[in-house]
Amino acid sequence: MSITSALLGFAAVAAVLTVIPGLDTTLVLRSALTQSRRHAAVTALGVSVGALAWGAAAAVGAAALLAASELAYRALTIVGAAYMAYLGVMLIVRSFRHEPVALDQAATPMPLWRSFLTGAWTNLLNPKIGAFYVATIPQFIPEGASHLGMGLLLAGVHDGIGLLWFAGIIGGAQAARRWLANARALKIIDRIAGVVVIGFGARLVLERH
């Protein structure tokens, strides 16, 4: 298998995974609707950095330990689920705490670094991402190729596809902002996003390795 065929084969698998609605899409969409295009883009960048870290770990075998150790997998699952529950609860609580201003009146948006960390940590604390990479990346490393280099390259392909997908999500959300730029809509968006994030965390805990 050549490097080109490996990249094309992995891209096909990654594209299918990318378009399946998931937590990453939820977070980017929520940022685009309630914050700004820049916040959504930075959230997507954080997701991509998390994916690169998992890709490197899978390539060098570190993620294989996670896949082989039930204890390590469950520990990371619990931590990841707790983080998702925290995110979801904070979104819901904030929607009840005060009356948010309309989007075009917002004066103090969330710092960009927080949007980045939200995307990065959500991916890093999701063992399903590690399980996907450890199951697929080794199969697409040609004989004689650098495992670390090829792992990063494959993860980069996944990131590229993901960023294109997120760009479409952000563009669509921006078009919808004119109908959602009011306090009531922002509350509803935060509550729905909070419930969805908590749901992903619960599913993470309940699913078997």
Domain segments of the chain as ranges:
3-206
**Predicted model pTM:** 0.67
Alpha helices (H) along 35-146: 37-60, 62-68, 70-97, 112-124, 127-136
pLDDT at 180: 60
Of 162, 158, 160, 150, the C-alpha closest to 56 is 150
Euclidean distance between CA atoms 68 and 71, whole angstroms: 9
Q: How confident is the model at residue 4 (pLDDT cuts 50, 70, 90)?
A: confident
Residue type, position 35, single letter: Q
pLDDT at 103: 46
pLDDT at 102: 46
pLDDT at 116: 92
Euclidean distance between CA atoms 26 and 4, whole angstroms: 32
Instruction: Write out pLDDT tens, residues 91-105.
Output: 777 767 655 444 444
Instruction: Write out pLDDT tens, residues 108-153.
Output: 567 888 889 888 888 888 777 777 777 677 777 787 777 778 888 8
Instruction: Write out pLDDT tens, residues 22-73.
Output: 778 888 888 888 788 888 899 999 998 888 888 777 777 655 555 566 666 6
Residue 206 has pLDDT above 80, yes or no: no
Euclidean distance between CA atoms 59 and 153, whole angstroms: 10
- The answer to whether 50 and 83 are in contact (CB under 8 A) is no
pLDDT at 106: 45
SS3 49: helix
Q: Which residue has the higher pLDDT, 74 or 111?
A: 111
